[in-house]
Structure 1
Amino acid sequence: MFLRKVTLLKENITDFKTYPFFIPAIKEMDTLNFNSHVTFFVGENGSGKSTLLEAIAYQCGFNTAGGGKNNIHDVDSSQAALGDYIRLSWLPKATKGFFLRAESFYHFASHLDQINKDDPIFNYQGYGGKSLHRQSHGESFISLLLNRFGDAGIYLLDEPEAALSPARQLAFMRIIHQLACAGNSQFIIATHSPILLGYPGATIFSFASSIENIMYKDTEHYQITKGFLNSPERYLVELFRDDE
């Protein structure tokens, strides 16, 4: 284990009516404790889960546009607004890792292409030996996981399911399992995927009016998905009732 807890430095915040401090989950946050190798952040869009994940990446020294410590590129809206207002507690401190943002993955792949253009010796070392743009979205994502992620680091992923089919989400879970079982990797993942959330033994933090540790089957993602799959007709009738 690496990251043990994240503390919001409330004494440094002068105005809780400004972004991102007015987000309920952030406003009510004190300290989050991490006790497992895999942790999920879940919640509606705008609930603060990606904001906190980005702030953790900032404090880890990772590029908040996506990448590791040595990836220098920029993307609009990639600044970590919460980054200077949290404190990370480590045991021991991780020196390796990666921050993956699904929304900026295309820009990261282009960044690697530019590196390879400037330095052909690079030859996409650590990324499968070829441009991520020469693979499908899902293939490039899995290639990144297999080649860039190692057995000793902290890995922060923001909505990785955006690139993955259900079958590849299961493959992704196996990769996580292999790395986590080695005892030297930690994953913190913001997700909407009820498949990924089923990872055994994971901690799940739900972002709403506050941040709460909940069980898998208590997540809205699991309950809605299960309800829909068990009775899609009932959901669709209710959903389209006003259109009749």
Structure 2
Amino acid sequence: MRSQKGLIELLLNREKITHPREYPFNIPALKKFTALKFHPKVTYLTGENGMGKSTLIEAIAIACGFNPEGGSINFNFATRESHSVLHQYIRIAKGAIRPKDGFFLRSESFFNVATNLDQLGGPLINRYGGVSLHEQSHGEAFWSLFMHRFSGNGLYILDEPEAALSPTRQMAMLTRMHELIQQDSQFIIATHSPIVMAYPDAVIYELTENGIRKSDYTDTDNYKIFHQFLHNHTHMLKILLE
């Protein structure tokens, strides 16, 4: 029997929570949340704004030892401490075999990661394609990360990676993900994008006002909305603009 790898399950210790009506425990999706099982390849978190996707994925990353603003395990900087205390109340069950690589990408603070990388300088830049991330467009910098820094046998936690990627690059991202998954990598991704969310061998959790539910790809609200708009945009625009 093969040993399990990567993240297996997230458990919330509700008994430790002394102020359940305060942030982040008052976020709708987290009010009754107790546990979440990770897929060995890809786990998606999706849902409307304000449902707690970024808060939850941030807590997972911090609990795994990543810097709250992003980067690898070795990054240790703070521009502005704004992360929640959720990570203090969760426990991550991990497999016996640990990943050799890892990265936490959050779109809102990627600029800070790029700045810190420039400050560190030296041969470290070569792991990101050999060019300062600040000397590339936002999308190019994201893509350099996927192509050069992610090396396989890793845990990659991504918060809205589609923020800087065109639809074409989002499709290319699926190809790159597949390459890395075949090299024993695991992804945890918070996203609104039906393209990013389309990897077939995955589990999707939809965060809603009523909690967190497992969902099929075509049953997610984001898929339904995009599908309806693209297949009948004239009618949708008439409704939206009248």
Band of TM-score, shorter chain = over 0.9
Rounded Cα–Cα distance in structure 2 between residues aligned with 1:105 and 1:87: 26
**Contact preservation (8 Å) 2:66, 2:73:** yes
> Percent identity between the aligned chains?
47
How many angstroms does 1:36 deviate by? 3.4
Aligned length: 236
**Bigger shift: 71-80 or 4-13?**
71-80
CA distance in 2, matches of 1:19, 1:32: 20
The answer on 1:43 being equivalent to 2:44 is: no
After the TM superposition, which of the residue ranges 72-81 and 198-207 deviates more from structure 2?
Answer: 72-81
Q: Contact 1:173/1:196 (CA < 8 Å) preserved in 2?
A: yes
Cα distance change on mapping 1:210 and 1:115 into 2, 3 Å: same
- 1:66 aligned to 2:70? yes
Contact 1:51/1:81 (8 A) holds in 2: no
Measured in 2, the distance between the counterparts of 1:175 and 1:112 equals 23
Q: Which secondary structure does the structure 2 equivalent of 1:21 belong to? A: coil
1:122 to partner: Cα distance: 2.7
Structure-to-structure mapping, 1:83-94, within 5 angstroms: 83-92=87-96, 93-94=98-99
| 1:16-75 per-position Cα deviation (integer Å, ceiling 9, x unaligned) | 110000112112111101133011100111101111110111111110111111112213
For residue 130 of structure 2, give the secondary structure of its aligned residue in structure 1: coil
| Secondary structure in structure 1 of the residue aligned to 2:234 | helix
Q: Distance in 2 between matches of 1:103 and 1:81?
A: 19
Q: Distance in 2 between matches of 1:79 and 1:229?
A: 36
Q: Secondary structure at the match of 2:187?
A: strand
CA distance in 2, matches of 1:11, 1:95: 33
Residue 39 of structure 2 contacts residue 202 of structure 2 at CA under 8 Å; is this kept in 1?
A: no
* Superposition deviation, residue 78 in structure 1: 3.8
How large is the Cα RMSD of the aligned pairs? 1.3
Question: If the length of structure 2 is used for normalisation, what is the TM-score?
Answer: 0.94
Letter in 1 for 2:205: F
Q: Indicate if the aligned counterparts of 2:10 and 2:93 stay in contact, CA closer than 8 A.
A: yes
1:4 aligns to what?
A: 8
- Residue 77 of structure 1 and its aligned partner are, at CA, apart by 4.5
Q: Distance in 2 between matches of 1:76 and 1:199?
A: 34
CA distance in 2, matches of 1:94, 1:84: 22
- Aligned ranges 1:226-241 → 2 under 5 Å: 226-241=227-242
2:60 is the counterpart of 1:56: yes
Q: Which runs of 5+ in 2 are unaligned?
A: none
Q: Deviations over 1:94-151 (max 9, x none)?
A: 45311001011111111111111xxxx3351311111011111111111111121121
Q: Which runs of 5+ in 1 are unaligned?
A: none
Matched, 1:114 2:115: no
Distance in 2 (alpha carbons) for counterparts of 1:202 and 1:137: 27
Rounded Cα–Cα distance in structure 2 between residues aligned with 1:237 and 1:75: 44
Check the 8 A contact 1:6/1:33 in 2, yes or no: yes
Q: Spell out the pairing of 1:176-215 with structure 2 (5 A cutoff).
A: 176-182=177-183, 184-208=184-208, 209-215=210-216
Secondary structure of 1:45's counterpart equals coil
- Distance 1:123-1:189 versus aligned 2 partners, 3 A rule: closer
Q: TM-score, normalised by structure 1?
A: 0.93
Task: Tell me, in whole angstroms, the C-alpha distance in 2 between the residues paired with 1:226 and 1:77.
Answer: 38
Aligned partners of 1:123 and 1:36: how far apart in 2?
29
Secondary structure, in 3 states, of the residue corresponding to 1:41?
strand
Give the secondary structure class of the aligned counterpart of 2:127: coil
SS in 2 for 1:122: helix
CA deviation digits over 1:141-165, x for unaligned, max 9?
1111112112111110000000100
- The separation in 2 between residues aligned to 1:4 and 1:135, in whole angstroms, is 36
Secondary structure of 2:125 counterpart: coil
Aligned mates of 1:75, 1:3 — CA distance in 2? 28
